[in-house]
Amino acid sequence: MPYPFEPYKIKIFDAIKVLSKSERIKALQEANYNLFKIPSEKVTIDLLTDSGTSALSQEQLSQMMLGDETYASSKSWERFETAVKNFTGKKEVIPVHQGRAAEKIIAEALLDKNDVAFSNSFFDTTRANFEHRGATCFDIPTEKAIDLSKPKLFKGDIDAKKLRKLLGRYGKRAKFVLMTLTNNTGGGQPASFRNVELAGNIATKKGLKFIIDACRIAENAYFIWLHEQKKKDSIKNVIRNLFSLSDLAFMSTKKDGLANSGGFIVTNDKSLAAKLRELTVLYEGFVTYGGMTGREMETIARGLEEVVNPTYLAHRIGQIAYLHNELTKIAVPLIHPPGGHAVYVDAGKFFSHIPQNEFPGQALVAALYQEGGIRSVEIGSLMLGKTSKPELVRLAVPRRTYAQSHFDYVVETFKKISKNKKQYRGFKITWQPSTLRHFTCKLKPIN
């Protein structure tokens, strides 16, 4: 299935080094089988994350040269603030250095011990920041998301019935409802406009805040525009309409900001904004840069304009669908349908000979590196602990970075692994930190 050709020409490139298999095995051992510790020059195709890995456009690079690095109220801040207001339609803009900084600030402003929050699915850092405040977080995806292999639309929806029930059960302990767009932990699947609106209405009726994690809101809006609104409105308007449903939204601009860093919180609530700004000064920096340089704010300001382009989004979503389709052809079990930023492999099924407590996802991550120098990430028991049901491996596609031949190489590597799956073993953890263990833990293959 072809997809629209790259809507850009290559002007500057970053050469890819290809190591031998024995060099890759050595690199794996040296990294204690944790792919986060493999030096990037030893990686052939890096599908670890789509976060902060986007290629910049020539316009972003040239605008960067205008970076105003004065401490307060710089020209870059003015351009950033205007672009964020234009993108979101919100009046109050609070800058932060990346998404989890926003999560930390929101957690401190809105959550206390024993509070409860609900989501279609919380991303790992979001959950960790909220739980760090002593709150409890509930993921309530819909039934249609449970069957990974069924290609149902809008599997990123929240289960409204269960949400009502849980809100009733937790009463005053319930603090807010959060929609992650797209639902990263749940397979990069979009939520429908109708579902986001419904979740917002349910929260409002209970007097709770409705929050949007907008990291990939442009990709989510593309699916809404294509399938729900049948291309009637513009993608830019769909995005603004989504933001308008929220009381508060935050965005890591390392994703749909088409930038290598940064983020923001937005709201129309002046008194909430004032509270968030106090915490921003404490943790991030002055309220007109929030931990970002002027140059970074310039790339984001421009990136937020570029990301709403339908040609860009058709290519982006087309790339994911291509990789998804080619892997489906060779019977790799995946989450269906393809989502917005990544292909998710059902590693529990693919490596069915490896039990859950031996991390089949991590075994596949290690195998992909060993056989092809491909870096991916486990989203299963290693990352999420006991809350995880499916053992997934995410192949996240950096924006504007790879072309079709790179994806064909990934498919060839899967073919190699598929030929003799039983040779790959499970893992055990030899050391782990107290939180977010997947980033730094050490592992050992089980003999």
Mask for 179-218, x = binds ligand PLP (CB under 6 A): -x---x----------------------------x-x---
Shorter beta-carbon distance to ligand PLP: residue 103 or 247:
103
Site for ligand PLP in 253-282 (CB under 6 A): 254, 263
Task: Give the chain's end-to-end CA distance (angstroms, integer).
Answer: 41
Of the residues 34, 46, 83, 99, which one makes contact with ligand PLP according to CB under 6 A:
99
- Residue 271: how many other CB atoms lie within 10 Å: 8
- Residue 51 in the binding site for ligand PLP (CB under 6 A): yes
How crowded is the C-beta side of 230, counted as CA atoms within 13 Å? 0
What are the distances in angstroms from CA 373 to CA 54, 62, 199, 395, 440? 20, 33, 42, 13, 20
Local structure of residue 393 (DSSP, 8 states): E
Binding segment (CB under 6 A) for ligand PLP, from list 92-100, 169-177, 272-280, 383-391: 92-100
Gyration radius of the chain's alpha carbons: 21
> Minimum Å distance from CB 331 to ligand PLP?
28
8 A C-beta contact, residue 319 and residue 397 = yes
> Minimum Å distance from CB 118 to ligand PLP?
16
Shorter beta-carbon distance to ligand PLP: residue 122 or 414:
122
> Minimum Å distance from CB 180 to ligand PLP?
5
Of the residues 63, 74, 119, 252, which one makes contact with ligand PLP according to CB under 6 A:
252
C-alpha 19/C-alpha 220 separation (Å) is 37
Query: DSSP letter string over 349-376?
Result: HHTTTS-GGG-HHHHHHHHHHHHH-EE-
Using the CB atoms, write b or e for 329-347: b if 16+ within 10 Å: eeebbbbbbbbbbbbbbbb
Shorter beta-carbon distance to ligand PLP: residue 99 or 348:
99
Comparing C-alpha atoms, which of 95, 85, 91 is closest to residue 281?
95
> Minimum Å distance from CB 67 to ligand PLP?
20
- Count of residues that bind ligand PLP according to CB under 6 A: 14
- Residue 100 in the binding site for ligand PLP (CB under 6 A): yes
Mask for 62-81, x = binds ligand PLP (CB under 6 A): --------------------
Site for ligand PLP in 110-129 (CB under 6 A): 123, 125-126
Residue 119: φ, ψ to 5°: -155, 165
- Asked if the bond preceding 125 is cis, omega within 30° of 0, the reply is no
- Residue 220 in the binding site for ligand PLP (CB under 6 A): no
Q: Which residues bind ligand PLP (CB under 6 A)?
A: 51, 98-100, 123, 125-126, 180, 184, 213, 215, 252, 254, 263
